[in-house]
Structure 1
Amino acid sequence: MPLHLPPAPAPALRSIVTALGSPTAVRETRTPALKSAQTQLTCELPLPVHVLEQGAAGGSTPRTRLTGWRFLIKKEDGRAVAAGESMLTPDGWAFSHFFEGPYVASTELALRQAESLSTPYQPRLLTVPGLYMLTLWLHGDLNADPASGLPAPGDLLVPLAPAPPGIAAHRPHRFADLLPVLTLRLTPAPLLRTSA
């Protein structure tokens, strides 16, 4: 079943395309694949990036907020070599950064796996900063505004590699099943009192 990729805001895409065309932005980035690219590069597969707020710990209702849009940067052969991210500023969408590394290939793999599912989803990215974790969030409401919303209990989260210890990468988890694990790991351990 095909994924229903939400359209990215035009200024977010434009910020990445402009940065790709800027020798200064590419030269100053820490992405050797972009610096050495000899072919035309394209921005594909726009995904809204949401952050799972720390308020999800301690049993409170989870919250998310949109932090940007991520685009895979592909060579003419269709291989992703990097990613570019835009962020929302008070003046609108602006280029944030380019990067490469394991999450680029892991995102591609997770999207291919999601394409083979029998249920259609709206793909997003959900980060859990307290665990250094990034997931492909497969949202069940295809018509939802990609900039807002919470994971529904039946939504799927696919941890990208590298995943935190004890959480299998590239294995879909229902949000309702994974949330208790995340909550437990995000909850600070109680301080031990010692008698004086």
Structure 2
Amino acid sequence: MPLHVPPAPAPALRSVLTALGSPTAVREVHTPALRTAQQEAVADHPLPLHVLDAVSPEGVAETRLAGWRFLIRCDERAVAAAETRLTPDGWTFSHFFEGPYIASTERALRQAESAAQPYQARLLSVPGLYMLTLWLHGDCASDGTTGHPDPADLLVPLAPAPPGIAAHRPHRVAELLPVLTHRVTPAPPPLLGSPA
């Protein structure tokens, strides 16, 4: 089934296209692949970027939309990404970057294309674990900006994943969320021995 990618807000896309067209913005970033690209750079695959803030005692993930991430392609391959964020004045360009999550995102999107059921593609960041996942949401009609991970949704950890969590292996939210919650929850202080 085809993977559904929600359309990014027009101002977010415009801000990325403006930054791509600015020699200053491209030259001053720490993205050598983008700076030295010989072909025209284009913004592709806009993905809403959500952040996992907390998990309620009932197991509901509390997330918030942090921005939109675009893969930046040159000559049919992603060489960087651009991120936008919401300000009081609307969507604005934040920064360009590169690194292992670019190729990992592409790989996860290709894997998701072969899923048996349709999903909407999103990104879910787990800051406490320095982890990023491709979130395959079951509500394809959503605009991508709201909602919580449903227990039946899939999370595909991107590489590099934290130790003990396999990258590029799809996990149901119901099975991976408790593991993530356990890892980001601080351990209680050790109990002192009882008096003699």
Q: CA deviation at 1:60?
A: 5.7
Who is 1:67 aligned against? 66
Work out the CA distance in 1 between the residues paired with 2:62 and 2:78.
31
Who is 2:85 aligned against? 87
Q: CA deviation at 1:24?
A: 1.3
Who is 1:126 aligned against? 124
Q: CA deviation at 1:61?
A: 3.2
Equivalent residue runs for 1:9-24 within 5 Å: 9-24=9-24
Q: CA deviation at 1:145?
A: 2.5
Unmatched tracts of structure 1, length 5 or more: none
Work out the CA distance in 1 between the residues paired with 2:132 and 2:4.
20
User: Which of 90, 106, 109 pairs up with 1:108?
Assistant: 106
Who is 1:179 aligned against? 177
Who is 2:135 aligned against? 137
Work out the CA distance in 1 between the residues paired with 2:181 and 2:43.
35
The structure with more strand, counted as a fraction of residues: 2
Work out the CA distance in 1 between the residues paired with 2:40 and 2:185.
46
CA contact (8 A) 1:58 1:183 kept: no
CA contact (8 A) 1:57 1:183 kept: no
Comparing 104-113 with 21-30, greater Cα deviation is found at 21-30
Work out the CA distance in 2 between the residues paired with 1:158 and 1:57.
22
Structure 1 residue 42 and structure 2 residue 25: aligned? no
Partner-residue secondary structure (3-state), 1:106: helix
Identical-residue share of aligned pairs (%): 70
User: Which of 91, 95, 98 pairs up with 1:97?
Assistant: 95
Q: CA deviation at 1:193?
A: 4.5
Partner deviation per Cα, 1:48-91 (whole Å, 9 max, x = no partner) = 000000x227666320000100000001x210000001000111
Q: CA deviation at 1:150?
A: 0.2
TM-score (ref. length: structure 2): 0.95
Work out the CA distance in 1 between the residues paired with 2:192 and 2:30.
48
Work out the CA distance in 1 between the residues paired with 2:25 and 2:57.
41
Work out the CA distance in 1 between the residues paired with 2:57 and 2:70.
33
Number of residue pairs matched by the alignment: 194
CA contact (8 A) 1:102 1:162 kept: yes
CA contact (8 A) 1:57 1:186 kept: no
Partner deviation per Cα, 1:2-44 (whole Å, 9 max, x = no partner) = 1011000000001111011111111111000111012111000
Partner-residue secondary structure (3-state), 2:152: coil
CA RMSD of aligned residues (A): 1.4
Q: CA deviation at 1:194?
A: 4.2
CA contact (8 A) 1:82 1:101 kept: yes
Partner-residue secondary structure (3-state), 2:145: coil
Who is 1:153 aligned against? 151
Work out the CA distance in 2 between the residues paired with 1:177 and 1:60.
11
Work out the CA distance in 2 between the residues paired with 1:140 and 1:57.
21
Work out the CA distance in 2 between the residues paired with 1:23 and 1:189.
48
